[in-house]
Structure 1
């Protein structure tokens, strides 16, 4: 835990004073003095340190100490995710609301189940009744019996009297009988009735409009009243003779009026509908006459039941929404990070959860400073969810991390359909450009264009390129390889003089802010290359040798370097294509000088040539100084009272400004709590070239405060252990015999001899061949002296022969002891025999038991 809580601080203390007070035990990254609503101090604060060790040391040092007259209580702070932290009022209120919400959801689900059960029960009851009604309808005798046995209160005297005549108009059998019995002169009463009834029905159909359906939703006031009595014969005659009413709407007060006609009564019954009934079904509803709720069909009763509106679905929790979004994008957004935090810090923090595709710290392009937030993208979204759950609201570098789901990154790559429409050559170029930023391995960091190399050598010799390489000469390939070796040697010396550690090219870790520019055409100037890279951001360093065959560009910040690499990789430049490679980490051993920065205009050609001449004149001095550092005995300074958290890098920064400084080391031991880590012993050594340099450094730096500790310096009689040890190892590994791999199959023994003969006297050259006399792709070269072999390997590193890069290693020397050689040959033969037996068993299909026996026998022989 890298964050501490300080209680009982004086009320008048400010954050600046707290930072100054607690900075004695380490780098303070955050200070939060808690205040109330009035801005008054609550007398406690949070202090953040960059490292956990610094926070623990601060607790031990400041706890129960005094600040002015107040006794401080210092403890390690706890994150919000710690279960021992008491919950705040807002959190308790939120949890109570969540419990109420869950209880309401359970109650709502129970009510829904009860409602569904009742509905199912009602449907079963209606279905049962409908089945009984169907059975009654299918049995006429049973139906007649049931109708006859019904009480008078449940039957209608005119229920069977309403029929439909041939013309489609309703008719009453009792009315027809009464009219048939009545005698009268003139016009037939029955015909008169039927004609008037038909006319009335026609008018009803003709005059149907929206006005007649305006009151469909109103409930009839006479639904609960008693049934109307049967009309007498006189009333029927009166209804026929009286003219019909022009008013098409029903008046509830006229229903029981004795003067109302049967036609109007039929009309009113025809248009009445029930409440909550679908208006689209009015046509079917008006076709039948319903006078009582007991006559409704079960299906109609089901339709008329009111339905309760369903409750809205429960809203998902904010935490669930965030996790779903992270599972979709696999990208995290980090806030409240340290402004000096690097991408490596977050890569180390999140790498334990899974493979990372991208770590991006947002940087202000104007100042180069961090904006205080970062993006993390995982290859597997589930791993991003695990990181979110584990690290959200946790303490990192003294600050509380706030992790949120990030939006998906905009990808501008072409889809498969667009790629298929492009030529195959263009598809390959786009694929190379897209994969360039993800590539971590480079087979040759100091790759030089062969054409540019030959142009450079021809210009130095003052001849044409055709004169330099004779196509009819068989040794042209060897000349080209030697020319490349010469140019590479010059480039290596130039880079070393600029503070570049060439051994870092072998390491895998890369720095996105450093770019190696390769395959540069001959004649390219610094100004032309700067025009390519400066639009992407400010450059911190630009290094290009006089030959112009390779360059190193360092940007001020990582995002601009990453953007430049993505845009310029495999870009066509003049008559060539630029090959870009990300530079290794810690490539530079010192800060850039004034001539290496791009703050001013690019240097002229004359200034560059003068600089190269000066470097060439000083090469011998540099070599002699290096020899003095690594081969001679150095003078050491014993440094004690070191902080246990101090690293060798910070100690080196203290002595780096002193003249004659070589290296600084800190004595360490295995940590008893964790055997995989090392623990500082509190002292170290600083080596200088001469005693005068060491004495001057002691006078200047004795008593310097480093990480809160005052350093104590004195001379030590310890000899240099770095130089002799490494030199002894190299001499032990150096051999006069070299094995050359990746040799072209077209190369002959003569080519190999001419290539290595220029670096020393050769003892033997052997190129193994196959049974068909073709080369096997490697060769053995033995020099008279190991020093000559070492020089050849150093100068031919990265050289190409017939288009293939030569890979050289020291060959294993034959032992002078005959018995040792016989033992080696015996082991080799036994291994070959065991391999043949295993292959025979596999081909024969024998079981694992036989294989295990052979493996045991082979192990015993070893």
Structure 2
């Protein structure tokens, strides 16, 4: 409806119809009456507005699209293009600002290949697209380190879209699998940190013992081929670990399952045997400046360090699952703190081990540092285990009817008046925008059960932020969700010579397990518990008992890191100490009856005095002796 300058109706209306047929039908309404007025209907011819100033086609501040790019809806992609950034900014600065609006999935921060300085723009990708829309609305035009940021919805290249569509529509399973592996290559849980491929193990063994690959994999020999490859892998892994420790690598950092990952150090696995460091430098050096390249003898697994995070990310994206000597490269981001010393700024990457200016090899100090770090971590783990064992029942309270505005600090302040608190949490959930909202209940854990009972009596029905609280004892213990549930295999201390072996492949036999473990010492027993009769082979785990504890420890330390049998990694733990048969019987009887009653059958010639002496030797509290009977019993 047309409006005049004063805001009143002008008396004319614009109606947009869908088709020409409807337009012709509407034109027939001419001269009809509407509300007592004769209506004039005519076709509207659009004309260019002369009053509006003409905008230039190409404004200098607008980003023009290339031929291989197309616009993408921000609410679907969640990707922002940020420009006019100061050249002194870093990727961490951007992450700190943009992560306030939601979790980020990727930050692409290009730098100049010669000056190693930022180019002044970046690409920010959010996990949830709604967070990108919110960041665009609030950060566009804001001043960042003295310059005004300009944010735009990002664009995608057509070739990437077409490649993805071709991969999905193609019937080739190999192409679809390569596309899927490429997309998940940045996952931190793709590969074991010390993974060595079976083919690479066979090549390394053949090269080391000056034999052909067919002789290494000879299936007609008496011993098992799977055991032979497993032992070869164990030897290679030990050599790799020894080499890494000598060159300043902290092996304890690989044991952190969900720890933070490095942005400059890449683990390169599945390399062909006899790969040289120069080949790796040439391959990875095309994407940026390298710091250190560590490659053990035999060339199976390597560690490549970049000086710039952006160049490392670019190399990771382009080289993951790419073919290198007919074998795909398995890449993984190394954990934080993998190197005990910082990266050298000016150093030609090559074979490490050269003496430095002080005349000491770089491995001498690093070995001491790694041993001290390992000892310190073991002490911390023991303290954590002791704290976990100290968790006694009856210390946790369940709090209901909380005000949604109540914070954990307010709740902690209220309940800490009764006794010392261990933890205080309020259960929360995310809304559609990704904001954490209170669910109206929480858990308070005290250090002592007496404090929990006191709080149950005194704080029942107390008012917090206008709500009367309902307090109950909780059966479960509050555990922080940040800590990883994964523990090291060596966390349990050795008490026996028996090893519990998990994840045994079902096609493996007891003879192969005996053959594998007998390499490290004399065995007492090998037992693989079987399934129910007629339902299959063993149950996927077993017990290996050595004659001496020293042999058991040697086998455990050699096989616990990365030993695969028939493609499955063996998981080793120390078995619990076994009780004697008499102790088990006594424990069972006490569980059911509270005392032990023995029925002893005595020979017919047994005299009462001898029976009394026998019972006294057994330590019986009371007995009834019936002598003179052929079937005498006690």
For the residue of structure 2 that corresponds to 1:758, the secondary structure is helix
- Please state which structure has a larger fraction of its residues in helix: 1
Deviation at 1:495, TM superposition (A): 1.1
Q: Which residue in the other structure is 1:382 paired with?
A: 130
- The runs of 5 or more residues in structure 2 that have no matched partner are 15-27, 54-61, 64-71, 356-360, 377-411, 425-486, 593-634
Aligned CA distance change for structure 1 residues 343 and 767 (closer, same or farther; 3 Å): farther
Aligned CA distance change for structure 1 residues 369 and 619 (closer, same or farther; 3 Å): closer
Aligned CA distance change for structure 1 residues 738 and 372 (closer, same or farther; 3 Å): farther
Q: Which residue in the other structure is 1:774 paired with?
A: 537
Deviation at 1:742, TM superposition (A): 1.9
For the residue of structure 2 that corresponds to 1:782, the secondary structure is strand
Matches within 5 A, 1:115-264: 115=12, 127=32
Q: Is the 8 A contact 2:268 2:330 kept in 1?
A: yes
For the residue of structure 2 that corresponds to 1:798, the secondary structure is coil
Q: Is the 8 A contact 2:500 2:543 kept in 1?
A: yes
Aligned-residue RMSD, C-alpha: 5.1
For the residue of structure 2 that corresponds to 1:376, the secondary structure is strand
Q: Which residue in the other structure is 1:792 paired with?
A: 555
Q: Which residue in the other structure is 2:393 paired with?
A: none
Structure 2 residue corresponding to 1:364, chosen from 87, 112, 132: 112
Task: Return the alpha-carbon distance in structure 1 between the equivalents of residues 497 and 147 of structure 2.
Answer: 60
Q: Which residue in the other structure is 1:487 paired with?
A: 236
Deviation at 1:565, TM superposition (A): 1.8
CA offsets per residue over residues 686-725 of structure 1, 9 Å max, x none? xxxxxxxxxxxxxxxxxxxxxxxxxxxxxxxxxxxxxxxx
Q: Is the 8 A contact 2:86 2:147 kept in 1?
A: no
Deviation at 1:733, TM superposition (A): 7.0
Task: Return the alpha-carbon distance in structure 2 between the equivalents of residues 340 and 631 of structure 1.
Answer: 40
Task: Return the alpha-carbon distance in structure 1 between the equivalents of residues 590 and 52 of structure 2.
Answer: 77
Structure 1 residue corresponding to 2:8, chosen from 103, 108, 111: 111
Q: Which residue in the other structure is 1:291 paired with?
A: none
Q: Which residue in the other structure is 2:310 paired with?
A: 559
CA offsets per residue over residues 90-118 of structure 1, 9 Å max, x none? xxxxxxxxxxxxxxx9855933454459x
Task: Return the alpha-carbon distance in structure 2 between the equivalents of residues 736 and 313 of structure 1.
Answer: 94
Q: Which residue in the other structure is 2:573 paired with?
A: 809
Deviation at 1:485, TM superposition (A): 0.4
Task: Return the alpha-carbon distance in structure 2 between the equivalents of residues 824 and 410 of structure 1.
Answer: 75
Task: Return the alpha-carbon distance in structure 2 between the equivalents of residues 621 and 753 of structure 1.
Answer: 40
Task: Return the alpha-carbon distance in structure 2 between the equivalents of residues 343 and 332 of structure 1.
Answer: 15
Deviation at 1:747, TM superposition (A): 0.9
Q: Which residue in the other structure is 1:499 paired with?
A: 248
Q: Which residue in the other structure is 1:87 paired with?
A: none
Task: Return the alpha-carbon distance in structure 1 between the equivalents of residues 182 and 31 of structure 2.
Answer: 70
Q: TM-score, normalised to structure 1's length? A: 0.43
Residue-pair matches, total: 444
Task: Return the alpha-carbon distance in structure 2 between the equivalents of residues 803 and 553 of structure 1.
Answer: 26
Which one has more relative contact order, counting CA pairs under 8 Å at least 6 apart?
Answer: 2
Aligned CA distance change for structure 1 residues 421 and 383 (closer, same or farther; 3 Å): closer
Task: Return the alpha-carbon distance in structure 1 between the equivalents of residues 142 and 588 of structure 2.
Answer: 64
Q: Which residue in the other structure is 1:527 paired with?
A: 278
Task: Return the alpha-carbon distance in structure 2 between the equivalents of residues 629 and 430 of structure 1.
Answer: 40
Aligned CA distance change for structure 1 residues 311 and 445 (closer, same or farther; 3 Å): same
Aligned CA distance change for structure 1 residues 328 and 403 (closer, same or farther; 3 Å): farther
Q: Is the 8 A contact 2:504 2:540 kept in 1?
A: yes
CA offsets per residue over residues 470-493 of structure 1, 9 Å max, x none? 422243321221111011100011
Q: Is the 8 A contact 1:360 1:375 kept in 2?
A: yes
Q: Which residue in the other structure is 1:599 paired with?
A: 348
Q: Is the 8 A contact 1:741 1:806 kept in 2?
A: yes
Q: Which residue in the other structure is 1:404 paired with?
A: 151
Q: Which residue in the other structure is 1:476 paired with?
A: 225
- The runs of 5 or more residues in structure 1 that have no matched partner are 1-104, 118-122, 132-297, 316-320, 612-616, 633-670, 678-725, 827-862
Deviation at 1:801, TM superposition (A): 0.9
Matches within 5 A, 1:609-628: none
Deviation at 1:764, TM superposition (A): 3.3
Q: Is the 8 A contact 2:104 2:125 kept in 1?
A: yes
Q: Does 1:550 align with 2:306?
A: no
Matches within 5 A, 1:721-740: 730=491, 732=493, 736-740=497-501
CA offsets per residue over residues 391-447 of structure 1, 9 Å max, x none? 557787x76773512432336323566336755144235314531444231241211
